[in-house]
Structure 1
Amino acid sequence: MDIKGKVAVVSGGASGMGLEIVKRLVSLGAKAAIFDMNAAAGEAAVAELGDAVMFADVNVTSEESVQAGVNATMAAFGAIHICVNCAGIATGSKTLGKDGPFPLDLWQKTLAVNLTGTFNVLRLCAEQMAKNTPDNEDGVRGAIVNTASVAAFEGQVGQAAYSASKGGIVGMTLPIARDLSTVGIRVNTIAPGLINTPMFESLPAPVYQALSSTPLFPKRLGRAPEIAHMVTSIIENDYINGECIRMDAGLRMQPK
């Protein structure tokens, strides 16, 4: 798929990896709709990037909220060709800890945002993608990229809910790719490792250095622009489909 002239929806696109993905898509000639609940950050992104970007205050767990965001995107840009899901939350609690069993409401919230939210956004975007004129002789109408985590494979102590939510994203990648193959929509997932975000930068220096030395090679935290580069590479390469790609520099997480 040629990104130039396409329209992308990026959930969680107001900050972090999502914002870097928005910036890269725009630099390659796309327009982007940011779906996020951080209105201040979303509007700041629009102010920085200009008319190629719009912001929609979207709660990914709500069908009505996502549908309103999709409708706003269609009204503003006329189509949706790309969907990138970055919206998510990181939670932690032991299955049985000193305060008792894992709080069920925390479990349900984690899966609602990370797993159901991802599916909610992509299914409603896919409905619009299916209406597109094919982009090339292969019949490509859309590309979806979801964000999992290495925790889907090597969850640490206290990550039962988070790992389940990210493992669900990995597990649904191929079935959804199969579902949407008949309408020319590809579906892939990336599984980032330790990516340098403002959260990491706030850690004490010894902790930051210890985490930076964990990956196999190169021995540093990943960078958000590297994630954005991979996302656009997947979008551009029509022969990548139904795949989950780890981006972790060979990292294998330890129990804690």
Structure 2
Amino acid sequence: MDLTGTSAIVTGGASGIGAACVRQLAAKGATVVIADLQADKGEALAAEVKGVFAQVDVTDTDQIAAAVKAAAEIAPLKAVVNSAGIGWAQRTIGRDGQLESAHSLEAFTKVIAINLIGTFDMVRQAATVMSTNDADADGCRGAIVNLASVAAFDGQIGQASYSASKGGVVGMTLPVARDLSAAGVRLNTVAPGLIETPIYGEGEAAEQFKANLGQNVLFPKRLGTPDELASMVVECITNSYMNGETIRVDGGIRMPPK
């Protein structure tokens, strides 16, 4: 699928994996709407790639609608990447036998709301607009990639909420792809492993921590880069025969219990 002269949306596009996707989609000829909460980083990146920043909280359906409308007004919306997400670490129960020490239900609900429901809301709204595009030679009108995580399969101790949210993203991949096939819209999921992003911090201690984490990777023994992840995302968008699939990009790692 050719992205020249089209528009695209990347949620969580202001930094990390999302920003790498923004740059690679722009290099393919798309005008990218960076949908994020971080206005300073988002506006700077938009200026760099000649795109547009839209302040979007993915739990706000009206803000998603505004971003989709903004993209469609620029050019036909052909690509969406759902990269917005949060993590949370807390064991299901505490050590003292008290309910107050159990996993926060509010936190669990928030992780699901952002990582799973926010992803689905963008999918349903963007795909509705994509369905009105002119089809290419393959009958394709658009493509969507959702970001999950290897935690969907190898969830660690304390990752109940995060793994549940990403497992939901994986679980809806095939049924949603089947739903959208009648409209000529493809959908795939990419599940990253350990990717080097700003969450690990900076400095000598952070570098040592990342090096130690990298030793758990099968090969190569390092963290992945945002560009390596983004290249798979872009492949899923541009390769017209990629549909209904979940792909791990993780160097072969299988996460230990903790």
Do the structures match in fold with TM over 0.5? yes
SS at match of 2:155: coil
Q: Which residue of 1 aligns with 2:71?
A: 73
The answer for unaligned runs of 5 or more in structure 1 is none
Q: Residue 2 of structure 1 contacts residue 236 of structure 1 at CA under 8 Å; is this kept in 2?
A: yes
The Cα shift of 1:239 comes to: 1.0
Q: Which residue of 1 aligns with 2:142?
A: 142
Q: Which moved more, 1:175-184 or 1:60-69?
A: 60-69
SS at match of 2:172: helix
Q: Residue 81 of structure 2 contacts residue 146 of structure 2 at CA under 8 Å; is this kept in 1?
A: yes
Q: Residue 170 of structure 2 contacts residue 189 of structure 2 at CA under 8 Å; is this kept in 1?
A: yes
Structure 1 CA distance, aligned partners of 2:37 and 2:139? 34
Structure 1 CA distance, aligned partners of 2:178 and 2:172? 10
One-letter code of the match for 1:124? Q
SS at match of 1:96: coil
The Cα shift of 1:142 comes to: 0.7
Structure 2 CA distance, aligned partners of 1:206 and 1:223? 16
Residue 253 of structure 1 pairs with residue 250 of structure 2: no
TM-score for the superposition, normalised by structure 1: 0.95
The Cα shift of 1:191 comes to: 0.3
Residue 54 of structure 1 pairs with residue 52 of structure 2: yes
Identical-pair percentage:
50
1:1-256 superposed matches below 5 A:
1-50=1-50, 53-75=51-73, 77-98=74-95, 100-136=101-137, 138-202=138-202, 203-256=205-258
The Cα shift of 1:92 comes to: 0.9
Structure 2 CA distance, aligned partners of 1:201 and 1:162? 21
Structure 1 CA distance, aligned partners of 2:126 and 2:234? 18
TM-score for the superposition, normalised by structure 2: 0.95
Show CA shifts across 1:101-160 (max 9, x none).
Answer: 111000000000000010011110001100000022x20001000000000000001000
Q: Give the alignment's Cα RMSD to 1 decimal.
A: 1.2
Show CA shifts across 1:161-200 (max 9, x none).
Answer: 0000000000000000000000100010000000011222
Runs of 4+ in 1 over 4 A off after TM superposition: none
Structure 1 CA distance, aligned partners of 2:53 and 2:208? 38
Structure 1 CA distance, aligned partners of 2:29 and 2:75? 16
The Cα shift of 1:204 comes to: 3.7
Show CA shifts across 1:202-222 (max 9, x none).
Answer: 354442221011110011100
The answer for unaligned runs of 5 or more in structure 2 is none
One-letter code of the match for 1:182? A
SS at match of 1:111: helix
Structure 2 CA distance, aligned partners of 1:109 and 1:165? 10
Q: Residue 195 of structure 1 contacts residue 224 of structure 1 at CA under 8 Å; is this kept in 2?
A: yes
Structure 1 CA distance, aligned partners of 2:178 and 2:140? 14
Structure 2 CA distance, aligned partners of 1:252 and 1:190? 16
Structure 2 CA distance, aligned partners of 1:144 and 1:248? 21
Show CA shifts across 1:233-255 (max 9, x none).
Answer: 11111111100000001000000
Structure 2 CA distance, aligned partners of 1:163 and 1:105? 16
Structure 2 CA distance, aligned partners of 1:103 and 1:240? 38
SS at match of 1:183: coil
